Structures are given as C-alpha cells and as structure tokens.
Amino acid sequence: MTLAKSLYRGIIASALAVTIAFCGAAQKKIVALTFDDGPNTSTTVKVLDVLKENDVAATFFLCGKNINKDTRPIMKRAVTQGCELGNHSRTHSDMRGLTVEKMRMEIEYTSHIIKQTTGVASEFFRPPYLLCNDLMHSSIKMPFIGGFSIEDWLPEVDAAERARRVVAKVKPGDIILLHDFEGNDATVDALKTIIPELKKQGYTFVTVGNLFKEAGIEPQAHNKRLYSNVYEQE
C-alpha cells in the first residue's frame, strides 16, 4: 500500500469513528410530555402543579373553544413555568372533511387567541384524533406533531397502568401524548410516577420546541410528516 493510500484509509477510518461517536452522542435521553384538549380550571392546574413540583416543562396542545376568561390565567401560568402552548384546533373535529377555508379558521382562531393571551406564538399543530390528510398538510403552515399515546382517555386504564405503559414504551426523542381534559385525574397521578422514574433512568423533560433544538432538527411544515420521535425518519 502506498503512503497516500494508507493515509487516505486512515482519514476515512477516523471520519467514520467521529461519525459513529457523533451519532451516538446525538441520541440524547430527552423526551417531551404533551397534554391535549385543555385548557381547563381543574386538570390543567393539577398537571401544572405536578410539573412544578418536579421542575419540568411540557407542551400543551389547546383547543380554542376552551380558552376563556377563566382559563386564560392558566395559560399564562403555563408559559411562566416554561411550558409551551401548541394548537389543537378550535372545535376538535375531524378536520379531514373541512374546506381549506374552514381548516384555516380552526387554526387561526386558536393561534390568535394563544398569542393574544400569552404574547407567545404557537409553533406546532396537533391534529384532533391525529387524523390528517394531504389537504391539511398543504393548508396548515405548522409542523404536525403526533406522539405515542397510552389510551389515557379510557377510565379503565388506571393511573398505575398509564405510568407502566409510558415507562415501558419510552425511548430517547419521544413525544409522549397525554390528556389534561377535565376530570382526567388518573393521568395527573400517573405523572407523579412517570416523571421521577424517567428522571432516575437519566431522561430530561423538554418542550416539543426544545426537543427539536436539542436533537438539531428543524421541524418542517408541509412535508406530510406527523412527528412522534425526533430521532426517527419516517
């Protein structure tokens, strides 16, 4: 082997090693807790209390129809606690049957009222029921956020089972989809197990926006993706 060739091979080998090391390092143990269908003056407040006690931030996907004079202070509190507010439509309907104009009305109402209330723009959209089609992807100018859910809307799935499912399923880069609709106290109780347990495993909780930033990924709108894990390419 000539000197040039062996030098070349050496460079390739070390570049490969650096790439492998970088990819390994890039998989940070980060996850985002997300809560859909609020805000309200009961469960949302309890979720915020648990987040505060554990010093973690999360992302709430709000329905515009639930925003009123009683819930606005709760949205402000969420932002003060470092939480992020996303858009979950106005009326929480299956948006696949809507015209472009009606889709935009659903989105713009909620985005406008979030900005007006908190001064912070919502950056992400979660489709109601995670149902979407091409027309929604081409009309709604925000990245679509999915996540893994654990059926935390079913009363028969109790708090212990909710916690067990999250802990069993979670992996680095995940978006965890939970609900803070009124009366969903089992999820509040599950959080009291989920957060300390995942912290013990070395996980850090971040907002959806920070999950993308930490992973070095620029989330895209109009790309027909429903992001559920920032490290997975669908």
106 binds Zn ion (CB under 5 A): no
37 binds Zn ion (CB under 5 A): yes
Number of residues that bind Zn ion (CB under 5 A): 2
Cite the beta strand spans of 51-191 per DSSP E: 59-62, 84-87, 144-145, 148-149, 175-179
123 binds Zn ion (CB under 5 A): no
- 134 catalytic residue (yes or no): no
DSSP letter at 4 equals: H
- 36 catalytic residue (yes or no): yes
180 binds Zn ion (CB under 5 A): no
The label of the residue with tokens 């429903």 reads: 226
| Shortest CB 54 distance to Zn ion, Å | 24
Task: Work out which of 36, 84, 123, 174 binds Zn ion, going by CB under 5 A.
Answer: 36
CA dist., res. 163 & res. 183, Å (int):
17
Answer yes or no: are the C-beta atoms of 166 and 196 closer than 8 Å: no
152 binds Zn ion (CB under 5 A): no
Query: How far lies 118's CA from each of 3, 51, 110, in Å?
Result: 64, 19, 12
CA dist., res. 188 & res. 172, Å (int):
22
Instruction: With contacts defined by CB under 5 A, name the span among 36-44, 65-73, 166-174, 215-223 that binds Zn ion.
Output: 36-44
Is the Cβ of residue 130 or residue 217 nearer to Zn ion in the bound state? 130
Q: Which residues bind Zn ion (CB under 5 A)?
A: 36-37
Q: Which residues are catalytic?
A: 36, 179
